[in-house]
A and B are shown apart, each in its own frame.
Chain A
Amino acid sequence: MASNGKRSEIISLLSEACELEHGLACSYLYAAFSIKQSASEGDITWDQLQYARRWAGQLYFIASQEMFHLSQAWNLLTALGGTPYYGRPNFPQSHRYYPIDLPLVLEPFGERALKRFIFYELPEHVSDVEFLVKEFHIPKERIQKAFTVGKLYESILNGIKQIPESKLFIGDPALQVGPEVCHFNEIVKVTNRETALRAIHTITEQGEGTKTDQLDCHYGLYLEIEREYRNMRIAATEKGLKFEPARKVIENPMPAFYAGQILAGANVIKNDFSSHVSVLFDNIYSLMLRMLQYVFQSGPLPDGLQKNIADGSIQLMTRVLKPLGEALTLLPSGHGNDLKCGPSFGLYRHVSFPANFRETLYLIIEALTQSADQCKVLSNNAAAPAQLLNATANLVSVQTYISNVAAMSLAEFASAVKS
């Protein structure tokens, strides 16, 4: 995995990092969506629910940091002459796709998921290898040689150090995205080796911590959640209480629409309504990514449109995909035992937005309008959970927002808004 000091190799490794950050975010979000939100869902007391809600909050936070890492990796790519990359394999991902001993999957929150997350975020200088040997039943020497996100970035770092600065950083600085556009407070505009190193350092520190602090990083957070979860389960057993913080959802769902592309280990959603909601989720998810990708390659646009598109993308993430994802964990999967489904985070055939911002705005508004119309139809169904209605209202609001900012900037959109 060591970089051979060629730009193409560094870009390849960065693309791999993008895939991993992105895939991890989806995995964490799936677990977060599956966490119950009310004691009335059963098998969880009010006290237990407070912990579960906190764990969900921390998972959302970690997922948001993974999205920040993805964005930061895009700035790194652009600085080296690459372009923002959000591709990745659909779930479940074969453990052979990356040199990692555990595949990336979509599974509900629980002990197994937490242990997987701990392993994903393994620091290079992990202090307690014995614990991991015991928990994952992986031989010690394999853990010590395990592929980790941290080691990937270390390779990238080494590659960056090998190529002369003036030759390496050829990307247009105007394409770099800062916090004034995308709301990630710590995002670094990468223009030279120093800023590149700073960017990578922030990513690895947040993920696996430092040699002296493994408490406040993702690894430390997951260790703490796993410890609390275990203690809560022991306490519940001692009191004769049930403790099921997660909804019973299938793993690695896939909408029936894409059954022709099914991967080994995926579970086709057999319920028709749920499958339609799942397709809608995937469409909006793809749109959100393409909008964010556009922000990271467009450079400044007139009238602050670059920031508006970034805002729209973030709003789709938080105000539409979150309630839609939660809604899916309440909808029947069509599999037995009353198993519900979940979002598949499927990426299927589509293309990036064109360079021309007028065309891109048109396409975004068209996609938002079509998704909003579809969402309205689905939310009129008697089976629609409240979260789906919420997502519909918010999607309409995002569509209106983008339409209005486009109209304020471009006359050709103004008449469309009026009509």
Chain B
Amino acid sequence: MKKYDVVIIGAGVAGALIANELAKKGRSVLILEAGVRGPKERTDLVGNYLNSTNRSLGSPYNVFPAGVINKAPIEDAPNLPHYYDQDYNQPDQNKYFKSNYERRVGGSTWHWLGNCPRLLPNDFETASKYKIGVDWPIKYRDLEEWYCRAEHELGVAGDHDELDNYFGAFRSQPFPMPKIWPSYSDLLITQKLSGSSDLWSEFNDKPLALMSTPQARNSEPYDGRPVCAGNSSCVPICPIGAKYDASVHTKKAEANGADLLDKAIVTRIIADESGKITSVEYQDWEDKKHNVKGEIFVLAANAIESAKILLMSDLANESDQVGRNLMDHPQGEGQCIVNEPVFPFRGPPTTSGIDKFRDGTFRAKTAAFRLSMGNDGGGRSNPPQGVLKELINDNFGVVLRQNLKARVTSQFRISFLAEMLPSPDNRVTLSPDKDAAGIFRPRITFSVDTYTLNSFAVIGEVMKSIFLALGSKLEDINVKNPSFLPAGHIMGTCRMGNDPKTSVVDKNLRCHQHPNLYIAGASVFPTVGSANPTITIAALSLRLASFIEKQFKPVTQWHQTEKGQK
């Protein structure tokens, strides 16, 4: 096999963006993806989901022909074998890791929600500002132009004027698309909250008000993809491709000349004595081993798999930080019955949120959080099927239909995601057990600490105040969250920092110990703020691609040099 300029491990959003940027510049690029690609038709994935009897995030994707063993397993539905090695029997539900991901071309963007809020300036400096967590080695302003580029690459619809300078997060360019229209319930809440903007002023001086959520979902045709048609099934799959997924950029990368090998599970990254990476060893789904050489290597396999690969390779870990500081955004929900219909299930699951609680001096003691207004009725906790099950005992026929309609059209939920702090004890290591491919499973130890858990009670009160403003009765409100829900935001295991003793990569995402090994994705986040990570991943990836390109001589100069050599 030829020697590539750049070998990228992982075909999720980070790997796909980097591959495309470098391939466009004429670099020879290989992407190695452990999972499968395709199928050719999106409708096949939708069909898989509809035909599943036990639906999960992976239902559209983890369907294989008879006799084919999935050699890139994931943590999916509860009744399937666990992929993670962790203590599922311990009673405290806040003490194990719940988020999962996809291992396929396009990665977890297949089933992500699509929300794209940026991190705030103070999210990069929590240690300096609030004496919690650690500071990033870069500031918001270092990343701002890349956020703009990422929003154009993914196609993010948002309200520039509303968000410009909110908590100091200036925006140098407008979004490429106008915001997704607010839903009916968004408009109702805005109206009902208009007299309550002073609520919760003890957090900060921002009003309690809805803001449009920037999202990678087309509000108009964009990049050859259709406008959102309100199918409302974004998680786990957009049937029409209006929501961005990274297959957009894997296709572009291949069209620009990148090679992509699926079913290629990287088992080891190999370095020479100086620490320079020389090749990558991977195993195909027939268990045959292969080796590929490159000049520069990018590990973009998500925070759990990237850490696992480094640990298996015994690389980049003089700091003993690889695998540590695993983070998620612990989530929760509140539901209510509003005293008038709010007509859910029209449009994306969320179109607006409340960002007021994302920053303030309170963060010294308790977690920042963001609220999302739901357009999906009772949310995860009380879907229409659950309501039907509840009503069916005492209702029948036309009355059942009428009561079901009355209830479902009036259900409303708010979900929240809260910041959690890095902890060295929250970590990924190698399990002694192996998966179907004979490769180490990840062992995970994880718990959410009181900094975050203590915020849940306050968040519950905030949600209750909004439900009451909407006109709900107390008995129709539920804000209890005995344990956190997973957000699918897997972050932190190879964090960036200036000090090689406490971090894995530097501010340019280059491994401190290995000059030609870079890490992309959320594994490099030192802290997580209260923003869904994907747009930050995308911004960092585009920035990294630009940095990597500068490590090469210009293509024409190289050709001239080669021609001059005898």
Contacts and interface: CB of A to CB of B under 8 A. Distances in A.
Interface of A: 46-47, 50-51, 53-54, 57-58, 60-61, 65, 183, 185-186, 206, 215-217, 220-221, 224
A221 B41 CA distance: 19
A217 B229 CA distance: 16
Contacts of A224: 224
Given A50-B239, A216-B221, A185 B41 contact: no
Contact of B226 (A46, A57, A206): A57
A371 B399 CA distance: 27
Interface in B165-192: 178-179, 181
Given A54-B239, A220-B221, A61 B227 contact: yes
Given A47-B47, A183-B181, A216 B239 contact: no
A186 B159 CA distance: 11
- Secondary structure of the B side of the interface? loop
Nearest to A61: B227
A216 B179 contact: no
A386 to B, nearest CB: 12
Interface string B182-224: 0000000000000000000000000000000000000111111
A216 B224 CA distance: 6
A265 to B, nearest CB: 32
Contacts of A221: 221, 226
A58 B226 contact: yes
B221 A217 contact: yes
A179 to B, nearest CB: 9
> Which of A46, A51, A216 lies at the interface centre, i.e. has the most chain B CB atoms within 10 A of its CB?
A216
Interface string B116-143: 0000000000000000000000000000
A186 B240 CA distance: 24
A416 to B, nearest CB: 21
Contacts of B181: 183, 185
B361 interface: no
Nearest to B50: A46
Contacts of A206: 220
B490 to A, nearest CB: 31
B227 A58 contact: yes
14 contacts: A50-B43, A51-B43, A53-B229, A57-B226, A57-B230, A58-B229, A61-B229, A65-B220, A186-B178, A215-B224, A216-B220, A216-B223, A217-B221, A221-B221
B46 interface: yes
Given A46-B47, A57-B240, A216 B178 contact: no
Contacts of A186: 178
Interface string B219-247: 11111101101100000000110000000
Interface string B26-70: 000000000000000101001100000000000000000000000
Contacts of A216: 220-224
Given A46-B47, A185-B178, A185-B179, A57 B221 contact: no
Contacts of A61: 220-221, 226-227, 229
Contacts of B224: 215-216, 220, 224
A395 B41 CA distance: 39
Nearest to A220: B221
B450 to A, nearest CB: 43
Contacts of B41: 47
B229 A57 contact: yes
A215 B224 CA distance: 6
Contacts of A60: 229
Given A183-B181, A185-B179, A185-B181, A54 B240 contact: yes
Given A47-B47, A54-B229, 11 more contacts: A47-B43, A50-B43, A51-B43, A58-B226, A61-B220, A183-B181, A185-B181, A206-B220, A215-B223, A216-B222, A216-B224
A48 B179 CA distance: 31
A224 B241 CA distance: 14
A240 B226 CA distance: 29
Contacts of B178: 185-186
Contacts of B229: 53-54, 57-58, 60-61
Contacts of A220: 221, 224
Contacts of A217: 221
Nearest to B241: A54
A224 B240 CA distance: 13
Nearest to B212: A185
Nearest to B155: A216
Nearest to A65: B220
